[in-house]
Amino acid sequence: MCVIKRFEKNEKRLDLYFIISSILTVLIHYSGLIVKFRNGDYFIEDNLFLPVYPCNVMMWVNLALCFLIIKKGKAFRIFATFSMYVGTVCGIIGLCFNTNFLAYPHFSDYSVLKGLLSHVTLIFSSLYIGLFGYIKIDTIKNLTALLIGACILILCSVVSNQILILMGRDTVNGMFLRPNTEYPFASFYTISLVGLVLYFAFTTIYEALRYKEDAWFRKIGKKEENERDFN
C-alpha cells in the first residue's frame, strides 16, 4: 500500500487496486469450498452462505462499493465511510484473534490459511479507502454512516438467524445481540460503546493534528465565543 501511495497517481488504476482487493477477499473466502468438496466434505458452514459475522458483512459491503466507485456519489461515501472504520477493525480482530488459527495454529489446514488471508485483504481494501482519500475523516459527519452501518449489521444478523431457523440449524450469535455465556460482558451494545469511545479518540486526535483550528471541538468553542459576543 505504501508503494502504491508513493508511485501511483492515476485515479482509474487507484480504483482498480481497491476493486481487485475487494474481489480477492470474496474469492479467498469461498476458495475453501473447493478444497472441502475435493475432500468429499459437502457441508457448508453458516458463514459461507450467510453474513452471520461482521467481517462477512464488510466483505460484501466492499464488493458493493466496487460498483459504486465509478460515480463516487452519496451512497458510495456513506458505505465507504462505514467500511473504512468497521471493516478495518473487523479485519484486524479477525486476523489477530482468529479462533480457527488459535485452535489449530498450522497453515497445513487450508481453512485456517484462507481465513487469515481473507482478513488481510479485508484490512487492505477497507484501510485503502481512508488512505487514498475516498472519504474525509469528519468526527461528527461520519457518525451518520456508522449509525446506518450498525443498523445494517443488526438487520443482517436478524435475517440470517431467521433463515438458519427455517433450515433447522442452530442460530449464530455473531453480532453479540444475545447474552454470551463465554464472554458475559461482550454484547453488541458494550462493543458499540467501546468502539464509539475509540472512534471519538482516534478522529479527534486526527482532526487536531490535521485540521488544527478547524477540528470539530475547536469549532464548538468558537461558536460559543461568538454567541457570547453577540449577546
Question: Tens digit of pLDDT per residue, the chain (231 long)?
Answer: 888 888 888 899 999 999 999 999 999 999 999 999 999 999 999 999 999 999 999 999 999 999 999 889 999 999 999 999 999 999 999 999 888 888 888 888 888 899 999 999 999 999 999 999 999 999 999 999 999 999 999 999 999 999 999 999 999 998 988 887 777 777 888 888 999 999 999 999 999 998 888 888 887 766 555 555 544
**Cα–Cα distance measured from residue 3 to residue 50, given in angstroms and rounded to the nearest whole number:** 35
**Cα–Cα distance measured from residue 18 to residue 134, given in angstroms and rounded to the nearest whole number:** 11
- Domain chopping of the chain, boundaries: 2-172, 176-231
**Cα–Cα distance measured from residue 129 to residue 121, given in angstroms and rounded to the nearest whole number:** 13
Task: Judge residue 50's burial from the number of C-beta atoms within 10 Å of its C-beta, 0-12 exposed, 13-18 middle, 19 or more buried.
Answer: buried
Could you give the dihedral angle defined by the CA atoms of residues 155, 188, 61 and 118, in that order, rounded to the nearest 10 degrees?
-130
Q: Which of 183, 184, 157, 176 lies closest to 46, judged by CA?
A: 157
**Cα–Cα distance measured from residue 150 to residue 49, given in angstroms and rounded to the nearest whole number:** 21
What is 61-78 written as a DSSP string?
A: HHHHHHHHTTT--HHHHH
Q: Tell me which H or E stretch contains 177.
A: none
- Please name the residue ranges forming H helices in 106-215: 110-131, 142-166, 188-210
pTM confidence score: 0.89
